[in-house]
A and B are shown apart, each in its own frame.
Chain A
Amino acid sequence: MTFLRKVLGIGRWQYGFEVAYRFNRIVWASSLPIILLATYFLWTSIYAYSGQTIINGMTLNELIVYYLAVQITIMFSASMVDAHIPRLVKKGLLIRYIVKPFNFVLFWFIRSVWRSLFRTFAVLLPLFALAFVIIDFSSITFNIPGYMLSVILALFLNFFYIFSVAMICFWVKEYEGIRVIRRGVANVFNGAIIPLTFFPLVFQKAFSYLPFQYMLYVPIQILLGKYSYEQSITMMLIQLMWIIVFALISIFAWKKAQAQFMGVGV
């Protein structure tokens, strides 16, 4: 019971941040449809000119849904830990969190999940307002339950992956550069800029051995019904495997980080 109280309390606290920055949020949420719109025009013209209705296994409609799903999925599964923690470390404010009687990693996970929920909720309206205009939802059979399960796994995976990389901030003077690169790399390999089926086969094969596609591409493919039932289960198991890998790295890295800053001061 007390644990639930804590989870809700952290949510209330995180909500304070959402409210404090709500003006920025609204503006930023309103800018997401712009990206979707640009993508819509681009692909409409490409499909029209090519004369094909299906390209790399997707119709134009499905492709637009794909990009819509990219934005929503990223909103939900991404984590802000590697934006916040390195800044706190740099300013010496980590102390704020480590004198509290609560596990550090768990605290940031709970905080991250709440933020995901608030953010996703905030962007749903502007995105779907546009989406209903340009997308024909009725022509696709969506696998919503599969998507939800996979996206929750993606949430965990994203968190531990980002947290692991963020731990580097305890050993470098400036983390920002690393962060931008990390995001850029992830966004290419996870299918955010273009479906992975557009890449040369060699690359597609390589991607399947990397964790990135399981953070974004896989949940969306499940949503669009691109995998058979068995394939979906396999994909989710691989997601689970990567979660375990990065969770272990996170815990190990955090232990090392603690030893580091407890040795030299925080």
Chain B
Amino acid sequence: MEVAISVRGLKKTYKTYSRGQGVKSAFVSLFKREFKINEALKGINFDIKKGEIIGLIGPNGAGKSTTIKVMCGILHPTEGKVDALGYTPWKQRVEYAMNFGVVFGQKSQLEWDLPPNDTYHLIKVLYDIPEKTFERRLKQMVKLLQVDEQYLRPTRDLSLGERMKCEVIAALLHQPKIVFLDEPTIGMDVVAKKRLHGFIKKINQEFGITFIVTTHDMSDIEKLCERIIIINNGDIVYDGLLKELSKTHLKKKLIEVKFSEKTRVRLPKRCLLISRTPYVLKFEVPVKGDKMDKFVADLITDYPVVDITISDPDIEEIIRDIYEK
């Protein structure tokens, strides 16, 4: 599979000037400025293949938006190489811009007082989209995302969810090869999210567009991303398939036991009790521990167990564990 973006040794260091607190330091800052060095990215490497939907996740301040901005070409790195479709994004910004689309959840691409449709027509013209093609694509996407009458109203009149859908359309009109989605489902209700997920998957399958999704929303990750990259403190802490994540990083399992009679079980030390009723016991078990296998086996033989369910903790917990590492 071909590579869409390759990143090697990407480093970004910021100088932040601190003023400190209080009157005295404000005064001092007039003459001499203290600064801190902030290593937002410490030299990361990864490849993104064409047609992938990849999730870029990490806690706030981890370096996600810095990475995205570098890949968009609006930030240049302190060190490192980035090759996106044959371009170095920050050096060939205008030509490269034809090939990507971007949706920033917090920063709208649409003008507040104008209908999204006006911006769509501007995009049509700036990206050299033929008239018929533009109309066809617009009609198709508007229908799929069900914003048939919303896209003609001023952006300020739209709900957050409707606006995000219109933003996504704006990013896709010129059929770019890569689309960056930064917090695309923020403020959306479940139904709208589902619709957007379906839309993105459809577009991805039909046109082979590469999507890079930054998000804090687990449903986005689970529904869209096959592969995820987790960034924490400027380093990549995980780069691989989502489903492999549980296998390699699994530290505990959830066990739920149902009894036929009121039973009280004493849990070994390494188990974490989650909830206990006379008939149902829920607890966490660390994965590595042969004593655990024995304990569970004993549980079934020694107690009137009607049902036992062993499950993985959800992705969110796994990822949170990785953050905290």
Contacts and interface: CB of A to CB of B under 8 A. Distances in A.
Q: Do chains A and B touch in the complex (CB under 8 A)?
A: yes
A9 interface: yes
A92 B107 contact: yes
Nearest to B174: A101
Contact of A262 (B74, B97, B102): B74
B139 interface: no
Contact of B121 (A9, A93, A95): A9
Tier of interface size on chain B: 35 or more
A10 B102 CA distance: 20
A20 B113 contact: yes
Contact of B125 (A6, A16, A21, A98): A6
Nearest to B102: A99
A145 interface: no
Interface size class of A (residues with CB under 8 A): 20 to 34
Interface stretch (B20-28, B87-95, B208-216, B254-262): B87-95
A49 interface: no
A159 B312 CA distance: 63
B122 A20 contact: no
Contacts of A99: 72-74, 97, 100, 102, 109
B124 interface: yes
A37 B125 CA distance: 43
B114 A101 contact: no
Binding site of B, secondary structure by majority: helix, strand, loop or mixed?
mixed
Contacts of B108: 93, 96
Interface string B93-115: 11101101010100111010111
B118 A103 contact: no
B323 interface: no
Contacts of A93: 107-108
B126 A20 contact: no
A252 to B, nearest CB: 18
B118 A262 contact: no
A92 B65 CA distance: 14
B129 to A, nearest CB: 10
A168 B229 CA distance: 38
Contact of B97 (A5, A10, A100, A266): A100
Nearest to A102: B126
A5 B125 contact: yes
Contacts of A6: 125-126
A8 interface: yes
Given A21-B113, A101-B98, A9 B126 contact: yes
Given A95-B107, A263-B75, A265-B14, 5 more contacts: A9-B121, A96-B109, A98-B74, A100-B126, A102-B94
The 3 A-B pairs at the shortest CB distance, nearest first, are namely A9-B125, A101-B97, A16-B118
Interface of B: 14, 66, 69, 72-76, 90, 93-95, 97-98, 100, 102, 104, 107-109, 111, 113-115, 118-119, 121-128, 154
